[in-house]
Structure 1
Amino acid sequence: MFTAGEDHRVRIWDMLSASPHCSRVFDCQAPVNAACLHPNQVEIAMGAQNGVQDVAISPDGQYMAAVNNKGNCYIWSLSSSPNQKLTTLQPKLKIAAHKRYVLRCKFSPDSRLLVTTSGDGTARIWKTDDFNMWRELSIDNYWVWDAAFSADSKYLFTASSDGIARLWKLETKNPERKYTGHTKAITALSF
């Protein structure tokens, strides 16, 4: 397990010992907003409050994305070889993803799509073959705080500040189902 916090540290925990303890600590220059485990299960990408809101690595290990509060999404190509100890990051692209604050970025399980969510009331889906926008899902006047793809990458769940979680069919851009019950904003979602 790994944890990241406002103490400017990311900690890796030994879960196999009788009493779990921290086995490694990484220091950052600012409070840590996000941490993502690489599919190789060895490396961690971190995003700190000095500019990064969220960070994600594609399940196939080819790309890393990071978003900021200025509306931008940054993409890096990742590569490694048997004689390399760490993955090499190569800057690929800067996308003006949203007009306002970007909150989350997540890759689909098949690594073919990337979603970004924003304070501009949209979730935007980008195709990873060229990183052009493929779909925009809109919830007028509400922040879209988080999103999660279905296992087959054909559906997307969103969480928004109107207190509703939605299930979207990506092919049609239509909300298939609404999940109500929260009385305030839904800020996190997992599927």
Structure 2
Amino acid sequence: MEDIPVILVTAGYDHTIRMWDALKSTCTRTIPYTTESQINRMALSSDKHYLAVAGNPSVSLYDVFGSSDLPVLKLDGHTGNVTAVEFTQDYKFLATGSEDRTIRWWDVYAGGCKYILENGSLVTDIAIHPDSRQELVVSSDKDGLVRVWSWRRKEVLCQVAPQPDVAVWSVAVSPSGRLVVAGDNTGRVYVYRLIIDATPQGDRSVELEHYASFDAHEDSRITRTLFSPDGVFLATCSSDHTARLWHIPEGPGSAAAAAAGIDTTDDTGPGGVRLVRTLEYHHRWVWDAAFSSNSGYLVTVSTDTRAALWEVSTGEVIREFKGHQKGVVCVALNDAIG
């Protein structure tokens, strides 16, 4: 991958953004984050050229291969902490969620906000549906709602409250677009089928149908949920100092699960959900994680100031990344080819 490098980025409470040589565990570039804000979440564009950094209350875009430590673009408009950020697959647009109770849809090239979605509660996380034709974004909030939005029409198409008045801190959409998961303040994960019915007249109905729920990290906050790119694994991060890998079948006899060596016929929970392994390395809260493009590796970051690279098949740490002086709360990884 000499021509297409692995881009691994971490950031934390020490107000630095660090880029790493993932194979050597060495920091290759440090960008000082000079605002008074903390860094909450990061995202890399699919072409690897831009890094979006969410703070309070702005989002800054950096040129990954540039020499300047200054952002190439700053997106102003939110009036509260920006808690979530995600590029569309074509990296033309960026979605953000904020404690100012809004979700914003940004035009990256024009540098302006195209749509504002009024949520009515502090937004904790967002996830863009993988099929851009659907024009959907899923959100979670502090009041405990999971909502599916049409970002272009600026309206809620459906919503659920997994546990009334229990904050939902993270949401994720499976690569197929058929499942939505939500992790809450008590360590419980809820799985929904996302059902989209279109009519010949062009109308459609959208529904979140309960599929399964389970205690992923009992009595602990779930800080992050994310699917592996192949859809085989769901990773959950938690305040209990661990990350966990789960398999959630979307149908009987998943060929991908079999290829990954997962026995889905034994020791399964509700809806066939299976705990594949618990990843124990960190000594404090695990805040964020990122999968490699082939789903074979996972990077986790923690308040213990470290990042760890795991081999998914064995559950072993194969690289450690040390250099931050304070807690590490977000990570972004792009090692895709092409």
TM range (shorter): over 0.9
Conserved 8 A contact 2:198-2:205 = no
- The whole-number CA distance in structure 1 between the counterparts of 2:221 and 2:197 is 36
Deviation, structure 1 residue 140: 5.1
TM-superposition CA deviations, 1:141-173 (whole Å, max 9, x none)? 311111111111111111011111101111111
Residue 38 (1) aligns with residue 157 (2): no
Name 1:2's counterpart in structure 2. 95
Deviation, structure 1 residue 9: 0.7
- The whole-number CA distance in structure 1 between the counterparts of 2:107 and 2:323 is 37
One-letter identity of the residue aligned with 2:122: P
Name 1:150's counterpart in structure 2. 292
Name 1:47's counterpart in structure 2. 140
State the SS of the aligned residue for 1:151: coil
TM-score scaled by length of structure 2: 0.53
Deviation, structure 1 residue 78: 1.5
Q: Gaps spanning 5+ residues in structure 2: where?
A: 1-93, 144-166, 250-271, 334-338
Picking from 211, 219, 222, the partner of 1:102 is: 222
Of 56-65 and 136-145, deviating more is: 136-145
Conserved 8 A contact 2:234-2:245 = yes
- How do residues 76-155 of structure 1 correspond to structure 2 at under 5 angstroms? 76-83=192-199, 85-99=204-218, 100-129=220-249, 130-139=272-281, 141-155=283-297
- The whole-number CA distance in structure 2 between the counterparts of 1:24 and 1:157 is 32
Deviation, structure 1 residue 15: 4.2
Deviation, structure 1 residue 117: 0.4
State the SS of the aligned residue for 1:25: strand
One-letter identity of the residue aligned with 1:27: E
- The whole-number CA distance in structure 1 between the counterparts of 2:283 and 2:115 is 43
- The whole-number CA distance in structure 1 between the counterparts of 2:206 and 2:309 is 35
Identity %: 32
One-letter identity of the residue aligned with 2:106: W
- The whole-number CA distance in structure 2 between the counterparts of 1:154 and 1:127 is 14
- The whole-number CA distance in structure 1 between the counterparts of 2:244 and 2:142 is 23
TM-superposition CA deviations, 1:100-140 (whole Å, max 9, x none)? 11100000000111000001011010012122111100135
Q: Gaps spanning 5+ residues in structure 1: where?
A: none
Q: Residues 36, 121 of structure 1: CA spacing in aligned structure 2 closer, same or farther, 3 A cutoff?
A: same
Cα RMSD, aligned residues only: 1.6
Q: Residues 182, 140 of structure 1: CA spacing in aligned structure 2 closer, same or farther, 3 A cutoff?
A: closer
- The whole-number CA distance in structure 2 between the counterparts of 1:62 and 1:92 is 11
- How do residues 155-166 of structure 1 correspond to structure 2 at under 5 angstroms? 155-166=297-308
TM-score scaled by length of structure 1: 0.92
One-letter identity of the residue aligned with 1:121: H
- The whole-number CA distance in structure 2 between the counterparts of 1:40 and 1:171 is 29
State the SS of the aligned residue for 2:246: strand
TM-superposition CA deviations, 1:47-69 (whole Å, max 9, x none)? 11221101110111111111111
Q: Residues 174, 80 of structure 1: CA spacing in aligned structure 2 closer, same or farther, 3 A cutoff?
A: same
Deviation, structure 1 residue 22: 2.8
One-letter identity of the residue aligned with 1:53: W
Larger radius of gyration: 2
State the SS of the aligned residue for 1:53: strand
- The whole-number CA distance in structure 1 between the counterparts of 2:114 and 2:330 is 28
